[in-house]
Copies of this chain bind each other. A is one copy, B any other.
Amino acid sequence: MDETTTRAYILLHNVSKKHNVGTLTRIATAFNVTTIVLTGNAHYNVFGCQGASAYAKFVHKRTLEDAVRWLKEDCACEIVGVEIDESAVPLPDARHAWCGEQPNVRSRAFFMGNEGHGLSEREISLCDKLVYIPQYGVGSTASLNVAVAAGVVLSAFAEAAAFAQCNKQGAKFDVAERPRRTQTRGFAEDDEEREMRIQARRLAREKAAHGDDDDDIDNPPPSLDTLFSES
C-alpha cells in the first residue's frame, strides 16, 4: 500500500442496530472514507445510505484483532477510537495535530462504538489513540448518536488531511457515476476469499499452538451476499 496517500477508514465491531451501517456509509463516503471494515457478527443492511454503499468498499474480518492487524500492517493506519474517555483527546486538539502532519498526514481508521454501550475496554485497548467530541453547556445528553459523532470526526479529519473537495452544483454535491455492481462485488469477494484462505491457515496454526480460545472461531463468517443486501 502506498503510504504517502492519506486514507480514512471506518472500523465497526459487532454492529447491532441494523440501520446504522447504512447511515454511517452515507456519512463516511461524503468524507472520502473508501473502506468500511466490519468484524464479528455483521447482520445488518445498508438501508439509509441513499445509494452510497455502491461507492464504499466493505471488508469483513472475522475477529477484531484481525481487522486491527490488517489496518495497521497492510493499510499503515493508526487506529483512532472515537469515544468519551478519560484518556481521549478533544477533537479540536486532534485536528490541530493532524493538520501539523501535512503534507504527509497518516492514514487513520476511526473505530466507532456501539450505539448502546460504546467501545468496550477490550476495544479501547486495541486503539492507538482516542478522541472525543466536546459537548457544551449544562449537560443535556450523555453522548451523541453514533452517526453524528462519526460525521463530526470524519469532517475534521477530511479537513486536516486536505482531501480533494467534491465538486458541487446548485444545492447538491456531484455524485459520480455509480460503479458497476459486479465490479465492486467482485473486488470485495476476491479480498474476502483471499482473506479466508489466509485466516484458515492462521487459525489452524493457532489452534495447534495454543488451543481454541477465540469466541468468533466457531462461527463461520457469513458470506458477503447475505451480509451486503441493500434494502
Q: How far is the CA of A176 from the CA of B152 in the complex (A)?
A: 24
Most chain B Cβ neighbours within 10 Å, of A50, A145, A158, A167: A145
Q: Determine whether the beta carbon of A140 is less than 8 Å from that of B30.
A: yes
Q: How far is the CA of A147 from the CA of B26 in the complex (A)?
A: 13
Q: What is the chain B residue whose CB lies nearest that of A167?
A: B139
Interface string of A33-51 (1 = CB under 8 A from B): 0100000000000000111
Given contacts A23-B145, A141-B26, A144-B30, contact A136 B151 (CB under 8 A): no
- Looking at A10-18, A78-86, A195-203, the stretch in contact with chain B turns out to be A78-86
Does A227 have its Cβ within 8 Å of any Cβ on chain B?
no
Which of B56, B91, B143 meets A173, CB within 8 Å? B143
- What residues of B have a CB within 8 angstroms of the CB of A140 in the complex? 26, 29-30, 51-52, 54-56, 175-176
Q: Determine whether the beta carbon of A163 is less than 8 Å from that of B137.
A: yes
Q: Determine whether the beta carbon of A176 is less than 8 Å from that of B138.
A: yes
What is the count of identical protomers in the complex?
Answer: 2
Q: What is the chain B residue whose CB lies nearest that of A150?
A: B148
Does A172 have its Cβ within 8 Å of any Cβ on chain B?
yes
Q: How far is the CB of A178 from chain B (nearest CB, A)?
A: 9
Most chain B Cβ neighbours within 10 Å, of A84, A119, A136, A163: A136
Q: Determine whether the beta carbon of B23 is less than 8 Å from that of A173.
A: no
Given contacts A23-B145, A148-B147, A152-B152, contact A173 B84 (CB under 8 A): yes
- What residues of B have a CB within 8 angstroms of the CB of A26 in the complex? 140-141, 144-145
Q: What is the chain B residue whose CB lies nearest that of A165?
A: B134
Q: What is the chain B residue whose CB lies nearest that of A55?
A: B140
Does A208 have its Cβ within 8 Å of any Cβ on chain B?
no
Q: Determine whether the beta carbon of B141 is less than 8 Å from that of A50.
A: yes
Q: Determine whether the beta carbon of A145 is less than 8 Å from that of B147.
A: yes
Q: How far is the CA of A165 from the CA of B144 in the complex (A)?
A: 15
Q: How far is the CB of A121 from chain B (nearest CB, A)?
A: 10
Q: How far is the CA of A83 from the CA of B54 in the complex (A)?
A: 25
Cβ-closest 9 pairs across A and B: A29-B140, A32-B137, A55-B140, A32-B136, A148-B151, A136-B163, A142-B172, A138-B176, A139-B174
